[in-house]
């Protein structure tokens, strides 16, 4: 199924002819490929390495960590429609609420930038939630937390955690793209909302 609705327009609340519609329409290639990026991630041709439920659960989580209620609800509605989605949604939302903080923070390689190191939390999901989410999604959410708040703390050991719970290399790439794309989408929406309100 193909979504004919432009997701960023929908999330900003852009109506045809509005000033923000004109801002987007003057960059038709950006608009088209931002939407194609969304489709590639959320209406994938191949979901064998990252299931739809995993994708939407991570999306709800990342939107919630960004404190964006309407984007969280958008992905939450999609997750609810999937098998086991309502249970995952409740767990993911609660985890985000409990662990939301402010970024970016993290550490630099040892050297002159070490003075700019900022400590902050890492996410370690407990056994009760892990039992609901499963090892794969637990690892994905912990990685999404790292990418969202402290991307400069990434390491081979963090990727090993994904591989050891059943993600393969292609799945890790898709997951990394998905979290990183959301960081983009959420910020385009935040910026356009300000311009649309002017």
Partner 1 sequence: MSDTVIEPAVENPPVAFTQDKIGWTPWLQPLAETELTDRHYEALVDKARAKSGYFALLVRDPDILEARTKTDNDIFYNTKDGLPRAERELAATAASRLNGCILCASVHSRFASQYSKREADVQKLLDEGVDADLGERWNAIVSASVALSTTPPSFTSDHAKRLREAGLSDEEISDVVHGAAFFNWANRLMLSIGEPTPAS
Which residues in this chain contact partner 1 in the complex, by CB under 8 A? 19, 23-24, 26-27, 29-30, 32-34, 36-37, 39-41, 44-45, 65-68, 102-104, 106, 108-113, 116, 146-149, 151-152, 154, 156-160, 163, 168-170, 172-174, 176-181, 183-188, 190-192, 194-195, 197-198
Which conformational region is residue 117 in: left (phi greater than 0), alpha (psi within -120 to 50 degrees), or beta? beta
Measured at the CA of 35, the angle between CA 48 and CA 172, to 5 degrees, comes to 35
Q: Write phi, then psi, for 84 (nearest 5 degrees).
A: 70, 10
Nearer to partner 1, 102 or 127 (CB): 102
| In the complex, least distance from residue 129 CB atom to partner 1, rounded to whole angstroms | 22
User: How many Cβ atoms from other residues are within 10 Å of residue 134's Cβ?
Assistant: 15
| In the complex, least distance from residue 131 CB atom to partner 1, rounded to whole angstroms | 26
Nearer to partner 1, 78 or 167 (CB): 167
Nearer to partner 1, 53 or 147 (CB): 147
| In the complex, least distance from residue 137 CB atom to partner 1, rounded to whole angstroms | 18
Which conformational region is residue 84 in: left (phi greater than 0), alpha (psi within -120 to 50 degrees), or beta? left
Q: Are 14 and 188 in contact (CB under 8 A)?
A: no
Nearer to partner 1, 13 or 108 (CB): 108
| In the complex, least distance from residue 54 CB atom to partner 1, rounded to whole angstroms | 14
The packing angle between helices 85-99 and 69-80, to 10°, is 160
């Amino acid at each position: 199924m193909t979504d004919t609705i432009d997701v960023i327009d929908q999330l900003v609340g852009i109506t045809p002819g509005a000033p923000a519609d004109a801002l987007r329409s003057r960059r038709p290639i950006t608009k088209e490929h931002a939407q194609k990026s969304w489709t590639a991630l959320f209406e994938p041709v191949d979901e064998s390495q990252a299931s739809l439920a995993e994708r939407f659960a991570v999306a709800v989580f990342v939107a919630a960590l960004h404190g964006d209620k309407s984007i969280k609800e958008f992905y939450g509605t999609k997750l609810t429609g999937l098998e086991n989605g309502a249970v995952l949604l409740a767990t993911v939302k609660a985890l985000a609420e409990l662990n939301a903080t402010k970024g970016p923070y993290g550490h630099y390689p040892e050297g002159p930038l070490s003075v700019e190191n900022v400590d902050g939390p890492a996410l370690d999901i407990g056994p009760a939630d892990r039992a609901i989410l499963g090892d794969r999604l637990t690892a994905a959410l912990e990685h999404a937390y790292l990418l969202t708040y402290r991307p400069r703390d990434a390491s081979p050991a963090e990727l090993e955690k994904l591989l050891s719970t059943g993600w393969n290399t292609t799945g890790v790439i898709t997951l990394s793209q998905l979290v990183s794309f959301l960081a983009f989408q959420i910020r385009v929406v935040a910026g356009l909302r300000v311009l649309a309100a002017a």
